[in-house]
Amino acid sequence: MFDYEILKFIWWILVGALLIGFAITDGMDMGVGSLLPFVAKTDAERRVAINTVGPHWDGNQVWLITAGGAIFAAWPAVYAAAFSGFYMAMLLVLFALFFRPVGFDYRSKLDSPKWRNAWDWGLFAGGAIPALIFGVAFGNLLQGVPFRLDELLRAHYQGSFIFALLPLLNPFALLAGLISLGMLVAHGAVWLQLRASGAVAARSRALAVRLSPVIAVLFAVAGVWVWLGIDGYRIVSQPPLDAMPNPLNKQVVVASGALLDIYTTMPIAILAPIVGLLGPLLTALLAKVERPGFAFVTSAFGMAGIIGTAGLSMFPFVMPSSLDPNSSLTVWDATSSHLTLNVMFWAVIIFLPIVLAYTVWCYWRMWGRVTAEEIDARSHSAY
């Protein structure tokens, strides 16, 4: 059995890996949905685009469900506080995601152009809205969330429940939302260049070449913004790292430059923002020279770098409190018990390789470019 402190850190890595896995796999599907009305002009072209992700999207979305379950089991205090404060945002994401299964399954049930066009825009909403909201959520986490914990560790938020979304839409959070949306759309464009054919692949290539450098620029702007204008949180005192979790047993201060502490104490962490910057630039170059397979890999690394930069900059905080910094939730004091973390760890060790092997097998069996002729030949099973 691992030490409690080590298990807390392992689960921070595992939750981060789940979020990155979700961005790479289901983010690709969301990107394709966001692009559907723009890179595919005719019904045949849209069916080509949809069929590049249709067989896999539901399996990919399991990464999101698993990440939510892991947060609930490993960080119950974070799950409770986050789903309370971000309740309206989560509902908006949930309602947008409803369009995906219905859109994929119902779009081709009728030949009516109006029917199909309506579901195409539904798939657009199901991809673009969650991508934007996820980035906005990360932008708010970096700045701190206006909540406090009472003596019973219940989270209390500042502001109205009805207008709970408005404080989340601050300038830095919107920039983070644009980065999130942009990187998922570019990732979807590279996937379409790799798997689609004809005009859809050509338009997607052009979009990937233009959009990827924009992501790098926006990410750089966010980094400068953090460096110049956003205060972070720093722990002044806390119990031993293997102590039983109690978020109120520590002292936290707001400090200028605290979001950059990790890069001083652990210089190797600078690799994350470097990869986050270089990934989109290499993606644009590789997409331009018709190497979509390599471009997909560099796009995935770029997303991992961007998400990793956010996580590392906040470490050890998971959900800092701007209202009462001492109520902030960290890797060390918002976790489940030692036994729970240990049992879940071994479950991951056993089942994750099985899930990954099955996922790879599914992609391998259904690999190849999707063409309009292929869809017509198997119209009974194509989307």
What confidence tens digit (pLDDT) does each residue in 186-206 have? 999 999 999 998 899 999 999
Position 250 in a domain: yes
- CA-to-CA dists, residue 154 to 85, 90, 151, angstroms: 12, 20, 7
- CA-to-CA dists, residue 216 to 66, 136, 180, 197, 296, angstroms: 29, 17, 11, 27, 16
Query: How many separate domains does the chain show?
Result: 1
What's the rounded mean pLDDT across residues 261-280?
Answer: 95
Give the model's pLDDT for residue 382: 63
- Token pair, residue 38, equals 């723009």
SS3 content of the chain, % helix, strand, coil (to 5): 75, 5, 20
Give the model's pLDDT for residue 367: 87
CB 18 within 8 A of CB 24: no
Give the model's pLDDT for residue 190: 97
Position 277 in a domain: yes
Which secondary-structure segment (H or E) carries 369?
none
- For residue 242, the SS3 value is coil
- Token pair, residue 45, equals 């072209």
Task: State the pLDDT confidence band at 366, using cuts at 50, 70 and 90.
Answer: confident
Phi-psi region at 368: left, alpha or beta (left = phi > 0; alpha = psi -120 to 50): left
Give the model's pLDDT for residue 245: 87
Position 119 in a domain: yes
Which residue pairs, CB below 8 angstroms and at least 24 apart, start in 9-12?
Answer: 9/331, 10/341, 10/345, 11/70, 11/74, 11/75, 11/331, 11/335, 11/341, 11/344, 11/345, 12/311, 12/315, 12/316, 12/318, 12/331
CB 298 within 8 A of CB 279: yes
Position 48 in a domain: yes
- Token pair, residue 1, equals 């059995």
Give the model's pLDDT for residue 163: 52
Task: State the pLDDT confidence band at 58, using cuts at 50, 70 and 90.
Answer: confident
Return the percentage of the chain with pLDDT > 90, whole number. Answer: 65
Which secondary-structure segment (H or E) carries 329?
strand 329-330
- Mean pLDDT, the chain, as a whole number? 90
Give the model's pLDDT for residue 300: 96
What's the rounded mean pLDDT across residues 101-116?
Answer: 88
Position 22 in a domain: yes
Task: State the pLDDT confidence band at 346, using cuts at 50, 70 and 90.
Answer: very high
Q: How far is CA 286 from the centre of its chain?
A: 23
Position 225 in a domain: yes
Domain hosting residue 240, numbered range: 4-377
Position 383 in a domain: no
| Beta carbons within 10 angstroms of residue 9's beta carbon | 16
Position 357 in a domain: yes
pLDDT single digits (tens) 283-322: 999 999 999 999 999 999 999 999 999 999 999 999 999 9
